[in-house]
Amino acid sequence: MEKRNQLYEGKAKKVFETDNPEMLIVSYKDDATAFNGLKKGTIAGKGVINNKMSNLLMQMLEKNGVPTHFVEELSERETLVKRVKILPLEVIVRNIAAGSFSKNYGVPEGKVFKTPTIEFSYKNDELGDPLCNSYHAVALELCTDEELETVKAYAFKVNDLLKAFWNECGVTLVDFKIEFGRLSDGTIVLADEISPDTCRLWDSKTQEKLDKDRFRRDLGGVEEAYREIMSRLEKAINK
Ligand code: TMP
Ligand code: ASP
């Protein structure tokens, strides 16, 4: 597979074309941002961890019936993925109150929900990724009604699978954000990444945060947390 011109550079990844029009290469950076790019920094080694973690989790999901964009890990930071058109929709599933949910609704962080919640935001940096409901998403033509039903079903399935997986690692899956894309034939697949950048992951015993909140909230021990969560995942995979 030959790497060709850079298509796009995002906050945490670069995307390159290849000699195959149906395939792209993503390259994970150590750059970290928060609050719509207002806070900027670097998390040394993050790109390597996120690349590997996302690939392992996507393969686990794929085995369990969730189609993903993953094709092949090419190197420490690079992965070959199927080319998709990303639905401009952030899909957020929550098991426990935290972050913007706690802030918006005045619920203390750590309150466990009886059933998981789902919400969407319109992926648009200029507008600050505003929250939107399923009717808004269809009215904005971000996706069709049918696609939205598929997205919702996959999102809850991803939650069940990830929750069980992290549980085995002594980690509580608090919430996460995922993105979906359309293949050239219209099939909806899970895309983007699943990593400590996009999930809240707490130590099940101590509730210690092992994710990007350590960076967002200046809690310190950011690199250590990324390494710790990766080593727990590797232990579980190699069992
Ligand atoms: P929130 O509580 O700030 O809305 O975040 C919910 C989840 O989504 C959390 O796991 C972090 C993740 N997230 C992203 O991946 N990207 C983002 O831009 C934001 C705001 C949150
Ligand atoms: N990636 C997001 C940004 O910079 C924010 C976040 O993950 O909190 O806007």
Report the pLDDT value the prediction gives residue 239, as an integer from 0 to 100. 82
What is the tens place of the pLDDT at every residue in 199-231? 999 999 999 999 999 999 999 999 999 999 999
Report the pLDDT value the prediction gives residue 68, as an integer from 0 to 100. 99
Sign of the four-CA dihedral 167, 232, 162, 37: positive
**In a 3-state reduction of DSSP, which class is residue 58?**
helix
Centre of ligand 2 from the C-alpha of residue 172, in Å: 21
Centre of ligand 1 from the C-alpha of residue 220, in Å: 19
Report the pLDDT value the prediction gives residue 58, as an integer from 0 to 100. 98
Count CA atoms within 13 Å of residue 134 on its CB side.
10
Low pLDDT (below 50) residues in the chain: none
Report the pLDDT value the prediction gives residue 141, as an integer from 0 to 100. 98
What is the tens place of the pLDDT at every residue in 57-93? 999 999 999 999 999 999 999 999 999 999 999 999 9
Ligand 2 within 6 A of CB of 37: yes
Report the pLDDT value the prediction gives residue 196, as an integer from 0 to 100. 98
Ligand 2 within 6 A of CB of 216: yes
In degrees, rounded to 5, the angle at the alpha carbon of residue 153 between the alpha carbons of residues 125 and 111 is 70
